[in-house]
Amino acid sequence: MPDATASILLLGATGQVGHALRRTLAPLGTVHAPGRAAVDLTDLKSVREAVRELGPALVVNAAAYTDVDGAEKEPGRAAQINAEAPRVLAEAARAVEAWLVHYSTDYVFGGGKRAPYTEADAPSPISVYGRTKRDGEKAIRAVGGRHVILRTSWMYSRRRSNFVRTMLGLARENDRLTVVDDQIGVPTWAGWCAEATASICERLLAEDDAALSGLYHLTGTGQTSWYGLARAVFAQFGRTDVTVDPVPSDEYDTAAPRPVYTVLDSSRAQAAFDLPPTTWTAQLDRFRKHVRTADGERVARG
């Protein structure tokens, strides 16, 4: 068992996964979750000092620049947060002999494949966001400390801006929506991702086995399109009155191109950390129950 008195530094605790991690990491030790005023990923000195002063056993970086279109307009800021800060975190974690757990994205892939991507597939990002996330991965691996990089995809939760919340919001004012049907991936509930991450972290703290270092994909099983996800969301929340029409991606003008296929194969993480495979539909069902339990369907019905 891990040391319950271990110090854990959690960055990005107000985000989708980070907020859930505050709960799931708590049994593993003392979670320190400084806000942006204390640790700003664009201020690399504050990043170094936070790790050095705390001397944690584990650093979990759930912070990122995630605005895919915004990154096209702010490539420098995206690179600072997604590439430079992870490098400094890796260096600082290595200096205090801490594990670093860092999140990356399916958008490091260009979408040219038509079978699930594995960790052995070479990244080929087609957007600034994807390139900066790939560069962050490369920087962490180059530092060479104990680290786990978790690529995940299509994140949603009750917090922040995400596709599921957007669909439910639009459905309050519209009974017919158009949604892209030619981009394929794996939706991931932030609550499930945080639970799986905590299981991984428990293993890292308990065994401290450097052989576990590396890159892993962390999503549910199965796949769908944004159109398929929208229909599943409305079915889960009882919004059978909403009609969803499929449209191709070129119907929408976006600043950043989107890969058409980014399904991740998570079997390596499942085997390495004894994680049971969970379908994306089962995660969505749990999310719906979580929402209704937490706030009486406020997210679904406003």
Q: Dump the DSSP string for 171-237.
A: TTT-SEEEEE-S-EE--EEHHHHHHHHHHHHHHHHHH--GGG-EEEE---BS-EEHHHHHHHHHHHT
pLDDT (tens digit per residue) in 121-157: 999 999 999 999 999 999 999 999 999 999 999 999 9
Q: Where are the domains of the chain?
A: 7-160+188-221+264-277
* Predicted local confidence at residue 37, as pLDDT: 85
pLDDT (tens digit per residue) in 212-233: 999 999 999 999 999 999 999 9
Q: What are phi and psi of 184, to 5 degrees?
A: -115, 135
Q: Hey, is 125 helix, strand or coil? A: coil
Specify the amino acid at residue 120.
Answer: A
* Predicted local confidence at residue 302, as pLDDT: 38
- The three-point CA angle 101-107-113 to 5° equals 120
The reply to whether 261 belongs to the active site is no
Cβ neighbours of 275 (radius 10 Å): 18
Residue 41 confidence (pLDDT) above 80: yes
pLDDT (tens digit per residue) in 271-286: 999 999 999 999 999 9
Higher pLDDT, 208 or 79: 79
Cβ proximity of 155 and 12 under 8 Å: no
Residue 300 confidence (pLDDT) above 90: no
CATH superfamily to which 7-160+188-221+264-277 belongs: NAD(P)-binding Rossmann-like Domain (3.40.50.720)
* Predicted local confidence at residue 132, as pLDDT: 98
Mean pLDDT of 10-23: 96
Residue 257 confidence (pLDDT) above 70: yes
Q: What is the mean pLDDT of the chain?
A: 94
Interstrand relation of 214-217 and 147-152 (parallel, antiparallel or unpaired): parallel
Running DSSP on this structure, what letter comes out for residue 252? S
- The DSSP H or E segment spanning 18 is helix 16-24
Residue 192 confidence (pLDDT) above 60: yes
Mean pLDDT of 286-296: 78
- Could you say which of 65, 103, 129, 261 is catalytic? 129
pLDDT (tens digit per residue) in 157-178: 998 889 999 999 999 999 999 9
- Percent of the chain past pLDDT 90, that is, above it, reads 90
